[in-house]
Amino acid sequence: MKIEQFLLPQCTLTGVQGGSKKRVLQLIANLLAEYSSNIDANELFDNLINRERLGSTGFGNGIAIPHCRLESCHKPFACLLKLEEGIDFDAIDGHPVDVIFALVVPAEATNEHLAILQELATRFENSSYRNNLRQADTNPDLFDIAIQSVPTA
Protein backbone atom coordinates (compact mmCIF):
# COMPACT_ATOMS: atom_id res chain seq x y z
CA MET A 1 0.00 0.00 0.00
CA LYS A 2 1.39 3.39 -0.97
CA ILE A 3 1.64 6.05 1.74
CA GLU A 4 -0.38 8.53 -0.32
CA GLN A 5 -3.34 6.14 -0.03
CA PHE A 6 -3.70 6.98 3.66
CA LEU A 7 -1.66 10.16 4.24
CA LEU A 8 -3.41 13.35 3.14
CA PRO A 9 -1.42 16.49 2.26
CA GLN A 10 -3.62 18.43 4.72
CA CYS A 11 -2.45 16.10 7.50
CA THR A 12 1.25 16.67 6.79
CA LEU A 13 2.58 19.55 8.86
CA THR A 14 5.98 21.16 9.52
CA GLY A 15 6.92 23.54 12.31
CA VAL A 16 4.55 21.97 14.82
CA GLN A 17 4.90 23.07 18.45
CA GLY A 18 5.00 19.79 20.36
CA GLY A 19 5.43 20.59 24.03
CA SER A 20 4.71 17.11 25.36
CA LYS A 21 3.79 13.62 24.22
CA LYS A 22 0.23 14.02 25.52
CA ARG A 23 -0.19 17.37 23.75
CA VAL A 24 1.06 15.91 20.46
CA LEU A 25 -1.29 12.92 20.72
CA GLN A 26 -4.20 15.32 21.31
CA LEU A 27 -3.13 17.36 18.27
CA ILE A 28 -2.98 14.18 16.18
CA ALA A 29 -6.45 13.11 17.33
CA ASN A 30 -7.91 16.54 16.54
CA LEU A 31 -6.21 16.71 13.14
CA LEU A 32 -7.33 13.26 12.02
CA ALA A 33 -10.87 13.83 13.30
CA GLU A 34 -11.03 17.11 11.38
CA TYR A 35 -10.44 15.32 8.07
CA SER A 36 -12.53 12.21 8.73
CA SER A 37 -16.26 12.40 9.37
CA ASN A 38 -16.18 8.99 11.11
CA ILE A 39 -13.46 9.61 13.68
CA ASP A 40 -14.18 11.19 17.06
CA ALA A 41 -11.17 13.10 18.41
CA ASN A 42 -11.74 12.07 22.03
CA GLU A 43 -12.14 8.39 21.17
CA LEU A 44 -9.01 8.47 19.03
CA PHE A 45 -7.02 10.30 21.72
CA ASP A 46 -8.07 7.72 24.33
CA ASN A 47 -7.06 4.87 22.01
CA LEU A 48 -3.68 6.46 21.25
CA ILE A 49 -3.02 6.98 24.97
CA ASN A 50 -4.04 3.40 25.75
CA ARG A 51 -1.71 2.12 23.03
CA GLU A 52 1.17 4.15 24.48
CA ARG A 53 0.50 2.59 27.89
CA LEU A 54 1.23 -0.82 26.35
CA GLY A 55 4.64 0.46 25.26
CA SER A 56 6.03 3.57 23.69
CA THR A 57 5.76 3.94 19.94
CA GLY A 58 8.98 5.97 19.99
CA PHE A 59 10.81 4.09 17.24
CA GLY A 60 14.26 5.61 17.78
CA ASN A 61 16.36 8.05 15.75
CA GLY A 62 13.93 10.86 16.61
CA ILE A 63 10.93 9.03 15.10
CA ALA A 64 7.63 7.98 16.68
CA ILE A 65 4.84 6.00 15.05
CA PRO A 66 1.83 6.25 17.35
CA HIS A 67 -0.89 3.97 16.05
CA CYS A 68 -4.12 2.26 17.01
CA ARG A 69 -7.11 0.42 15.65
CA LEU A 70 -10.50 2.10 15.92
CA GLU A 71 -14.03 0.78 15.42
CA SER A 72 -15.21 4.02 13.81
CA CYS A 73 -12.36 4.08 11.28
CA HIS A 74 -13.30 2.69 7.86
CA LYS A 75 -9.89 2.85 6.13
CA PRO A 76 -6.28 3.52 7.15
CA PHE A 77 -5.68 7.18 7.85
CA ALA A 78 -2.50 8.97 8.90
CA CYS A 79 -0.81 12.25 9.67
CA LEU A 80 2.85 13.27 9.60
CA LEU A 81 4.19 15.97 11.89
CA LYS A 82 7.63 17.55 11.90
CA LEU A 83 8.04 19.20 15.29
CA GLU A 84 9.81 22.51 15.80
CA GLU A 85 11.77 20.89 18.65
CA GLY A 86 12.14 17.30 19.77
CA ILE A 87 10.06 16.06 22.71
CA ASP A 88 10.38 13.21 25.19
CA PHE A 89 8.36 10.33 23.75
CA ASP A 90 9.87 7.52 25.84
CA ALA A 91 11.63 6.34 22.67
CA ILE A 92 13.51 3.05 22.78
CA ASP A 93 16.85 4.86 22.31
CA GLY A 94 16.02 7.60 24.85
CA HIS A 95 16.40 10.38 22.27
CA PRO A 96 13.84 13.16 21.75
CA VAL A 97 11.33 12.70 18.93
CA ASP A 98 10.89 15.36 16.25
CA VAL A 99 9.16 13.40 13.45
CA ILE A 100 5.83 11.70 14.17
CA PHE A 101 3.88 9.53 11.77
CA ALA A 102 0.53 8.66 13.37
CA LEU A 103 -1.68 5.92 11.99
CA VAL A 104 -5.24 4.81 12.68
CA VAL A 105 -6.74 1.74 11.01
CA PRO A 106 -10.08 -0.07 11.17
CA ALA A 107 -10.42 -2.35 14.20
CA GLU A 108 -10.64 -5.48 12.06
CA ALA A 109 -7.68 -4.61 9.79
CA THR A 110 -4.99 -6.47 11.74
CA ASN A 111 -2.99 -7.69 8.72
CA GLU A 112 -3.19 -4.34 6.94
CA HIS A 113 -2.16 -2.58 10.16
CA LEU A 114 0.93 -4.75 10.51
CA ALA A 115 1.84 -4.39 6.81
CA ILE A 116 1.66 -0.59 7.03
CA LEU A 117 3.73 -0.54 10.22
CA GLN A 118 6.35 -2.72 8.53
CA GLU A 119 6.48 -0.35 5.54
CA LEU A 120 6.85 2.65 7.85
CA ALA A 121 9.57 0.93 9.89
CA THR A 122 11.50 0.15 6.69
CA ARG A 123 11.24 3.77 5.57
CA PHE A 124 12.27 5.23 8.91
CA GLU A 125 15.26 2.90 9.23
CA ASN A 126 16.68 4.67 6.15
CA SER A 127 18.81 7.58 7.41
CA SER A 128 18.55 9.48 4.10
CA TYR A 129 14.75 9.32 4.28
CA ARG A 130 14.77 10.62 7.87
CA ASN A 131 17.20 13.40 7.00
CA ASN A 132 15.20 14.45 3.94
CA LEU A 133 12.03 14.69 6.05
CA ARG A 134 13.87 16.87 8.55
CA GLN A 135 15.07 19.18 5.77
CA ALA A 136 11.52 19.91 4.54
CA ASP A 137 10.58 23.54 5.14
CA THR A 138 6.99 23.49 3.92
CA ASN A 139 4.01 21.18 4.33
CA PRO A 140 3.93 20.31 0.59
CA ASP A 141 7.67 19.51 0.63
CA LEU A 142 7.21 17.25 3.66
CA PHE A 143 4.35 15.41 1.94
CA ASP A 144 6.31 15.00 -1.31
CA ILE A 145 9.32 13.60 0.55
CA ALA A 146 7.13 11.31 2.68
CA ILE A 147 5.56 9.61 -0.33
CA GLN A 148 8.80 9.12 -2.29
CA SER A 149 9.98 5.57 -2.66
CA VAL A 150 12.90 4.60 -0.48
CA PRO A 151 15.79 2.62 -1.93
CA THR A 152 16.37 -0.69 -0.18
CA ALA A 153 19.84 -1.83 0.77
What pLDDT sits at residue 151? 62
Q: How far apart are CA 5 and CA 19, in angstroms?
A: 29
What pLDDT sits at residue 112? 82
The model carries a pTM of 0.93
Q: Please give the positions annotated as active site.
A: 67
What pLDDT sits at residue 106? 87
pLDDT digits (tens, 9 = 90+) for 59-86: 999 999 999 989 888 889 999 999 999 9
DSSP 28-73: HHHHHHHT-SS--HHHHHHHHHHHHHHS--EEETTEE--EEEETT-
Architecture per CATH, domain 3-145, reads as 3-Layer(aba) Sandwich (3.40)
3-state secondary structure of 107: coil
Work out the pLDDT band at 134, boundaries 50, 70, 90.
very high
pLDDT at 96 over 60: yes
Sequence ranges of the domains in the chain: 3-145
The counts of H helices and E strands in the chain are 5, 6
The kind and range of the H/E element at 143 are: helix 139-147
How much of the chain exceeds pLDDT 70, in percent?
97
> Which of 66, 72, 62, 71 is CA-nearest to residue 50?
66
pLDDT digits (tens, 9 = 90+) for 39-52: 999 999 999 999 99
